[in-house]
Structure 1
Amino acid sequence: MLLDGVNHIAWISKDAARLGRFYADVFDADVGPTRPHGREGGETMTVIRIGPHTELNIFVIDGNTEAARQTPMWGRGRIDHVGLQAASPEAFTVIRQRLIDAAASDGTINDFGSAQSIFFRDPDGLEGEVLIAVV
């Protein structure tokens, strides 16, 4: 393969600081500073590093209401949810408990045969999934 995973996923948030705290608390992510972005003003970008070469690029844009638009699965547009790969079975267990503690998931484990997953909702309402391969 010519690719080695995902470099970043960009999305619009209502509150990058709140989102950064969630990803830091649950996934041990590193949250960078919030910086101005764009040429018109009223737009910021915060980088949340979630893996060795994977980031979430979080944008807050004055007057943009897209972050509030969360509809049922498969009704959210071209990108429906984000799937994150747990580093190990132990990490999957820790993440699952942290998601439950944060009231972001009921902890249900989905069995897809070759992988197990847990769905969650972040503070903006974006649905995510954490997966681990079954060996």
Structure 2
Amino acid sequence: MAATDDHPRMAIIDLGGGAALNAFEVAEESIVGERRAMGGRGPIDHFGLAVDSRATLDVLRERMVAAGAEIGEIQRLGGEWSLFFRDPDGMELDVCAHAGPDGTD
């Protein structure tokens, strides 16, 4: 995916079995944390987990909102529906589900 004003250049690498690695191109000086220090955020931006469907993602969001989680809206990013949230330590996490060609899956 080409870079835009609000999103860096990105490649989605299929790891097989439904797993993917999203690699972003960012300037070295914009990476937060000390890369070599244990516990530094370094070059890992966030972790993502996959669920089986958009319906499961909708239910998960409802449960997280009811629990008072710091959470965003479900959004379409490429071929995936994504839901970003923060864990109690402030780490950003992502739960995603495959989106069909018509965007309804």
Q: What range describes the TM-score normalised by the shorter chain of this pair? A: 0.5 to 0.7
Aligned match for 1:108, one of 61, 73, 77? 73
Gaps of 5+ in 1: 7-72
The CA distance in 1 between the partners of 2:92 and 2:52, in whole Å, is 20
RMSD of the alignment, in Å? 2.7
Query: Scaled by the length of structure 2, what TM-score is found?
Result: 0.52
The CA distance in 1 between the partners of 2:70 and 2:15, in whole Å, is 35
The CA distance in 2 between the partners of 1:90 and 1:118, in whole Å, is 12
Structure 1 vs Structure 2: percent identity of aligned residues?
A: 41
Runs of 4+ in 1 over 6 A off after TM superposition: none
Count of residues paired in the alignment: 69
2:77 maps to a residue whose letter is: F
Choose between structure 1 and 2 for higher RCO, CA contacts under 8 A separated by at least 6 residues: 1
1:88 to 2:23 alignment = no
Query: Scaled by the length of structure 1, what TM-score is found?
Result: 0.42
Aligned-pair distance for 1:110? 1.8
Aligned-pair distance for 1:123? 1.4
Partner residue in 1 for 2:83: 118
More helix by share: 1
Gaps of 5+ in 2: 1-13, 20-29, 33-40, 101-105
Asked if 2 retains the 8 angstrom alpha-carbon contact of 1:97 and 1:107, the reply is no
1:101 maps to a residue whose letter is: A
Aligned-pair distance for 1:74? 5.1
Aligned-pair distance for 1:120? 0.6
The CA distance in 1 between the partners of 2:69 and 2:54, in whole Å, is 20
1:129 maps to a residue whose letter is: D
